[in-house]
């Protein structure tokens, strides 16, 4: 009886393989020419397949015609499925791999593993786990420990994926449109803090060098730029020379004000970071960053902090914790980038980290990781620096559908925190990879686009259904964006001026910027929780100051402040907005130091200048009292200047009380403007 059952089982197995059709004369007696052509295609495809995954895309050009001739060959179905897994259209692999299993499940030892990956990408979690476990059962613990560990990680990713998909974040994802996207690949978007500028990488015809990538059969990479005009993107244009060259040129990072650009240039197989500066409307020639940043290894991603003094980047240098790690370099007093510091095990893992982006708030990083709790490949994570404990928070997965089972990398976020930009492959897009806008926790509407593949330089899995999440409040960044145009008060021409950002409580300059020489535009990021002094300076002009006291709980706001600088001319008046006194007293507070030092330097630089310091109050209180208080406050400023070596005969003081209001005294805001200290030029 047992013998009979054994024979029956052999017949069953043999019958299950019977459908597998080899490319032989016996199977195609009536089509010898077709067989000859198919075998020729197989031979050419196998040559490319043997060269590795980079050539799989080209192998498909030969395998697919052979498959059309004979769709029932297990090995060919497996190879086509594997080629698709390494392409931009990964999910096309599933029917071929399923057919290979049907024809001969033992055609290749990796078949179950590859099919598990395909199901994983398609979010068929249970099927993927089943295939992974079946593959794992064929491995020897002793010989394949690393591979067993990898499969265990894949199984855990599927479990995480199931959890994240059950609890999606509320977003909607929109194509940014034909002004930016084309029939060719677009990826690597980078933005200014206020989303007024977007740059990206594309492989379009008409590349600067006119060359073709022989491996991918696509044009070389070039950088393109588009501007946001009244809520609509302008037609993207090639950024041109000197940034784009005859070689590959790709985006990496853009300073929040859009005045400094980091780009990737491949040098002898090792990617390096180069910086370019915008002078007027002309970009400087790319300059290779120093050896503290670039090494003989591969630096693949970079981002500048809003203070301009810190840079975060990714490198596979050998002193890291894993495949690729995130590092930070700080600019020294001479303007040189210092030794790179690894961000440590809270951020970096034994696996790979990639796509670093530091938010304009100066404390939040977004990055991609294979090693934290992901749903597959690289997922995008968020971590926040705690200035008190000097530690990074545990990385938080951004969630589904921003993250998918495939690689999700190179993600940038607007200053408001409402928008993210990334590249994705979608059947309804304009080309292979397009750039998409992610709106977080937006108004109620269908939550996600129906993606076929999704990758930021990779691909995503399809979204099978529309999911509606509960309405949630938009969480905005605790950040103020201050921007505007600096001009000559008389001619109204744009000026290139220096903008200093001062922490008034610490009396230190935290950042320094320059307005654009052609447009006069400037933009600075002011993270909440500080009292800021803003000083705008240019040689030959009186400085201009502003004060922003931003509570730690303040929500995102965007403030436009145009500044007109006045020439050093008799009669010119300047309000000193960062002079502070104790309440109802004439005692100068320590936060006034930087403003007083600027005034001291002006008087030192123009030794013939004579000025009047005027004190002003609001209308509250008795006239005589207000006049006396304002006079004492003006004298306190004069006394400070004399203590710094300024001759007393160059200084006069006057207390005007409430006599010269510059705003209404009927509101708190107006009264605050009227309480001021100013100086007037008497002679020069």
- Cα-trace Rg, the chain: 32
Is a pLDDT exceeding 70 seen at residue 332?
yes
CA-wise closest residue to 624 among 653, 657, 584, 654: 657
Query: For 495-552, what is the HEC assignment?
Result: CCCEEEEEECCCCEEEEEEECCCCCCEEEEEEECCEEEEEEEECCCECCEEEEEEECC
Split into its structural domains, the chain has a count of: 4
Is a pLDDT exceeding 70 seen at residue 272?
yes
Residues 629 and 678 in one domain: yes
- Residue 392: count other Cβ atoms within 10 Å of its Cβ: 18
User: What CATH code is carried by the domain that includes residue 618?
Assistant: 3.30.1330.60
Is a pLDDT exceeding 70 seen at residue 446?
no
pLDDT of residue 294: 95
How far is the C-alpha of 181 from the C-alpha of 35, rounded, in Å?
42
Lowest mean pLDDT among 42-51, 138-147, 402-411, 587-596: 138-147
pLDDT of residue 356: 97
Question: Collapsing DSSP states into helix, strand and coil, what is residue 670?
Answer: helix
Of the candidates 545, 567, 589, which is a domain's last residue?
567
| Predicted confidence (pLDDT) per residue in 380-397, tens digit | 999 999 999 999 999 999
- Using CA atoms, how far residue 332 sits from 292, 526, 591, 668, in Å, is 12, 21, 25, 43
CA-wise closest residue to 249 among 273, 218, 215, 283: 273
Structure tokens that stand for 415 in this block:
């200053």
Residues 29 and 141 in one domain: yes
Residues 219 and 364 in one domain: yes
pLDDT of residue 277: 95
User: What CATH code is carried by the domain that includes residue 69?
Assistant: 1.25.40.10
Helix, strand, coil share of the chain (percent; to 5): 25, 30, 45
pLDDT of residue 88: 83
Residues 506 and 630 in one domain: no
How far is the C-alpha of 254 from the C-alpha of 549, rounded, in Å?
27
Which residue range forms the structural domain that includes residue 507? 478-567
Q: Has residue 470 been placed in a domain?
A: no
491 contact partners, CB below 8 Å, separation of at least 6: none
Residues 146 and 266 in one domain: no
pLDDT of residue 190: 97
Check if the beta carbon of residue 533 is closer than 8 Å to that of residue 578. yes
Q: Has residue 533 been placed in a domain?
A: yes
Residue with tokens 């001479």: 334
pLDDT of residue 382: 96
DSSP label at 653?
A: E
The dihedral region occupied by 217, where left means phi > 0, alpha psi between -120 and 50, and beta the remainder, is left
Residues 157 and 218 in one domain: no
Q: Has residue 605 been placed in a domain?
A: yes
Q: How many residues does the chain have?
A: 684
25 contact partners, CB below 8 Å, separation of at least 6: 32, 35
| Predicted confidence (pLDDT) per residue in 597-624, tens digit | 999 999 998 899 999 999 999 999 999 9
Percent of the chain with pLDDT over 70: 92
| Predicted confidence (pLDDT) per residue in 31-47, tens digit | 999 999 999 999 999 99
Q: Has residue 10 been placed in a domain?
A: no
pLDDT of residue 448: 54
Average pLDDT for residues 445-460, to the nearest whole number? 43
Is beta strand 610-616 parallel, antiparallel or unpaired with respect to 651-657?
parallel
| Predicted confidence (pLDDT) per residue in 136-147, tens digit | 998 887 778 888
pLDDT of residue 442: 53
Residue with tokens 């998409």: 436
| Predicted confidence (pLDDT) per residue in 106-159, tens digit | 999 999 999 999 999 999 999 999 999 999 998 887 778 888 889 999 999 999
Residues 561 and 576 in one domain: no
Q: Has residue 441 been placed in a domain?
A: no
Residues 347 and 239 in one domain: yes
- Using CA atoms, how far residue 365 sits from 31, 157, 351, 379, 477, in Å, is 62, 23, 18, 14, 13
pLDDT of residue 146: 83
Residues 340 and 488 in one domain: no
Residues 48 and 75 in one domain: yes
Check if the beta carbon of residue 285 is closer than 8 Å to that of residue 240. no
Check if the beta carbon of residue 154 is closer than 8 Å to that of residue 132. yes
How far is C-alpha 52 from the chain's CA centre? 31
Question: Collapsing DSSP states into helix, strand and coil, what is residue 22?
Answer: coil
Residue with tokens 């130091």: 593
pLDDT of residue 389: 95
User: What CATH code is carried by the domain that includes residue 234?
Assistant: 2.120.10.30
Average pLDDT for residues 545-551, to the nearest whole number? 91
Spell out the alpha helix ranges (H) of 104-144. 111-121, 125-136
| Predicted confidence (pLDDT) per residue in 251-268, tens digit | 999 999 999 999 998 877
Average pLDDT for residues 202-215, to the nearest whole number? 84
Residues 575 and 562 in one domain: no
Is a pLDDT exceeding 50 seen at residue 318?
yes
Residues 135 and 270 in one domain: no
pLDDT of residue 211: 84
């Amino acid at each position: 009886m047992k013998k009979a059952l054994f024979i029956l089982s052999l017949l069953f197995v043999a019958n299950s393989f019977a459908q597998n059709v080899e490319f032989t004369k016996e199977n195609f007696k009536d089509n010898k020419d077709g067989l000859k052509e198919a075998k020729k295609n197989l031979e050419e495809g196998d040559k490319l397949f043997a060269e590795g995954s980079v050539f799989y895309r080209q192998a498909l050009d030969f395998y697919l015609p052979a498959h059309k001739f004979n769709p029932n060959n297990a090995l060919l179905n497996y190879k086509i499925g594997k080629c698709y897994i390494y392409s931009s259209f990964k999910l096309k692999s599933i029917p071929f791999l399923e057919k290979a299993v049907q024809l001969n499940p033992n055609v290749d030892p990796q078949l179950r593993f590859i099919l598990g990956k395909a199901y994983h990408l398609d979010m068929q979690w249970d099927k993927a786990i089943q295939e992974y476990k079946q593959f794992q059962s064929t491995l020897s613990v002793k010989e394949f420990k690393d591979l067993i560990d990898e499969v265990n990680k894949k199984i855990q990713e599927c479990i995480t994926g199931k959890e994240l998909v059950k609890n999606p974040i509320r977003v909607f994802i929109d194509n940014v449109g034909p002004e930016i996207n084309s029939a060719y690949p677009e990826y690597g978007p980078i933005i200014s803090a206020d989303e007024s500028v977007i740059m990206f990488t594309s492989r379009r015809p008409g590349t600067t060098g006119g060359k073709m990538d022989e491996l991918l059969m696509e044009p070389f990479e070039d950088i393109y730029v588009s501007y946001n005009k009244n809520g609509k993107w302008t037609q993207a244009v090639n950024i041109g020379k000197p940034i784009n060259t005859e070689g590959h040129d790709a985006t990496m990072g853009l300073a929040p004000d859009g005045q400094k650009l980091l780009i990737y240039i491949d040098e002898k197989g090792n990617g390096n970071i180069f910086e370019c500066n915008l002078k007027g409307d002309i970009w400087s020639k790319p300059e290779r960053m120093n050896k503290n940043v670039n090494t003989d290894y591969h630096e693949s991603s970079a981002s500048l902090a809003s203070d301009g003094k810190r840079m975060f980047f990714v490198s596979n240098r050998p002193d890291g914790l894993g495949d690729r790690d995130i590092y930070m370099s700080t600019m020294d007093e001479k303007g040189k980038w210092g030794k790179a510091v690894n961000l440590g095990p809270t951020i970096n893992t034994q696996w790979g980290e990639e796509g670093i982006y530091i938010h304009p708030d100066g404390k939040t990083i977004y990055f991609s990781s294979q090693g934290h709790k992901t749903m597959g490949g690289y997922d995008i994570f968020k971590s926040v620096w705690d200035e008190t404990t000097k530690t990074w928070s545990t990385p938080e997965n951004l969630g589904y559908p921003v993250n998918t089972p495939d690689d999700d990398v190179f993600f940038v976020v607007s200053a408001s925190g409402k928008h993210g930009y990334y590249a994705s492959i979608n059947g309804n897009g304009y080309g292979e990879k397009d750039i998409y806008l992610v709106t977080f926790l937006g108004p109620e509407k269908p939550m996600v686009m129906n993606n076929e593949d999704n990758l930021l330089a990779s691909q995503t899995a399809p979204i099978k259904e529309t999911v509606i999440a509960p309405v949630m409040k938009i969480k905005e960044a605790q950040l103020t964006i201050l921007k505007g145009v600096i001009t000559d008060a008389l001619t109204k021409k744009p000026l290139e001026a220096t903008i200093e950002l001062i922490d008034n409580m610490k009396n230190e300059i935290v950042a320094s910027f320059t307005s654009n020489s052609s447009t006069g535009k400037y933009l600075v990021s002011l993270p909440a929780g500080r009292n800021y002094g803003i000083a705008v300076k240019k040689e030959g002009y009186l400085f201009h100051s502003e004060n922003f006291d931003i509570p730690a709980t303040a929500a995102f706001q965007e403030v436009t402040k145009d500044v007109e600088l006045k020439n050093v001319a008799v009669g010119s008046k300047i309000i000193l907005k960062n002079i502070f006194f104790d309440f109802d007293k004439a005692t100068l507070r320590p936060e006034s130091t930087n403003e007083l030092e600027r005034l001291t330097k002006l008087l030192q630089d123009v030794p013939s200048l004579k000025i009047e310091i005027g004190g002003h109050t609001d209308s509250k209180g008795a006239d005589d009292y207000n006049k006396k208080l304002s006079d004492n406050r003006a004298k306190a400023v004069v006394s400070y200047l004399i203590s710094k070596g300024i001759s007393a005969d160059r200084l006069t003081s006057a207390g005007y009380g409430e006599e010269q209001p510059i705003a209404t005294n009927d509101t708190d805001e107006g009264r605050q403007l009227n309480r001021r200290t100013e100086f007037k030029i008497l002679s020069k």
